[in-house]
Structure 1
Amino acid sequence: MPKISAPTVGEHRAAQRAAILKAAGEILVASGLEQVTPRAVAERAGLARSSFYEYFASRDDALAAVAVDAFGEWEAELSHALSKPTPTDRLRAVVETTLRLTADGKHDIAAILQRARLSPSREEDIMLLHDKLLAPLDSLLRDLDVPDPEIHRSLLRGLLNSGMELVNGGRSVSEVAARITALLERGLLPAMD
């Protein structure tokens, strides 16, 4: 019987699966999508290659699981930001949280996987995860009673994407968040009056 490295078999399996996902994410960010192979992932996780296949049928399945984890962390952070008392506070918190997560590198995995060429079903899974992250923005814009929420969501996403590029280029989160927030407060919020 193989040795387990946790108090129970279930905990052991969960730890091994987590090690595989962590290794896949690290390779993905450090070396790129092409370097994420079952052999490389298993080696980095300190497991036999066959262990990879005990948890995932294919590389695409493992990458989809990495995306689920990455988007799950992002969603949890945004949910916390959206717990602020007023819609305006929530809007500010979404901007700050998005830029902070970008600075922390948590967006890297999601961004790489969005551009990846995976099996069609896995690409669709990842796009659904991304779309799920946009749902709170729609709700927030409704709470702000913004006219034409679809247009404003696109514009807000554009501002956030530009802010993320600035943060990735070395600008401070606080500076970029303050500028985006100022634009929104002078532009978006007065448009609601």
Structure 2
Amino acid sequence: MQRAALLDAARSLLSEGGTEALTFPALAQRTGLARSSVYEYFRSRAAVVEELCAVDFPVWAAEIEAAMQAAGTPEAKIEAYVRQQLALVGDRRHRAVVAISASELDAGAREKIRAAHGGLVAMVVEALAALGHAGPRLTATLLQGIVDAAVRRIELGAAEDPAEITEAAVALALHGTRR
């Protein structure tokens, strides 16, 4: 229960203040634990981040996969892939993953995050192949680049409304640069 409380506090801190806000004193204060107790659960900030990814990313991926499975056509699956990822931008779990992506992770943690993102890309390969893409894996990787750019735009609080960014990303994903 304490570990779960620490992870929940870490999500809140990352969501509210980014990586700078995730400190062991702040975790201790949020959970009512002594600072030394936090070290009993995690050896470093990177370890907290690693566990957040291990716990939250599969849930996030399952939500994207469920949205895709509910879609009927390959085009609808691609649209669901883009829309669901962008819908998750406001979710604390997602905000934590975005906030930590630039933090001081060791090579092992970075590789785990890369592998998890690779799992997201793999979800859409079949739909792209069904549409006749000669290189569906490459296309899926580029599609994820569109999603990542839209996520960054939303997270930065761009001038456009998040719904407008989502619609532009979906249009680009489905129709390329044609108007």
Scaled to the shorter chain, the TM-score interval is: 0.7 to 0.9
Q: Which residue of 2 aligns with 1:51?
A: 37
Determine if the alignment matches structure 1 residue 119 to structure 2 residue 106. yes
Task: State the partner residue of 1:7.
Answer: none
- Structure 1 distance, partners of 2:8, 2:82, is 27
Cα drift, residue 106 of structure 1: 4.2
Shift in alpha-carbon separation, 1:120–1:164, aligned structure 2, 3 A: closer
Residues 100-128 of structure 1: CA deviation (Å, up to 9, x unaligned)? 11144543221222222222222222222
- What CA deviation, in whole Å up to 9, does each residue of 1:121-180 have, x standing for no partner? 222222222222222122332233312223322331232223223433253444333333
Q: TM-score, normalised by structure 1?
A: 0.76
Other structure's SS at 1:47 match = coil
- Supply the RMSD in Å over aligned alpha carbons: 2.4
Paired residues in the alignment total 174
Within a 5 Å distance, the mapping from 1:1-193 to structure 2 comes to: 15-83=1-69, 84-104=71-91, 106-168=93-155, 169=158, 171-187=160-176
Distance 2:150 2:109 in 1: 28
Q: Do 2:86 and 2:166's aligned partners in 1 also have CA atoms closer than 8 Å?
A: yes
Contact 2:14 2:95 in 1 (8 A): no
Q: Which has the larger radius of gyration?
A: 1
State the TM-score, normalized to the length of structure 2.
0.81
Q: Deviations over 1:87-109 (max 9, x none)?
A: 11111111111111114454322
Given residue 3 of structure 2, which amino acid in structure 1 is its aligned partner? R
Large movers: runs of 4+ above 4 Å: none
Whole-Å separation in 2 of the counterparts to 1:143 and 1:42: 50
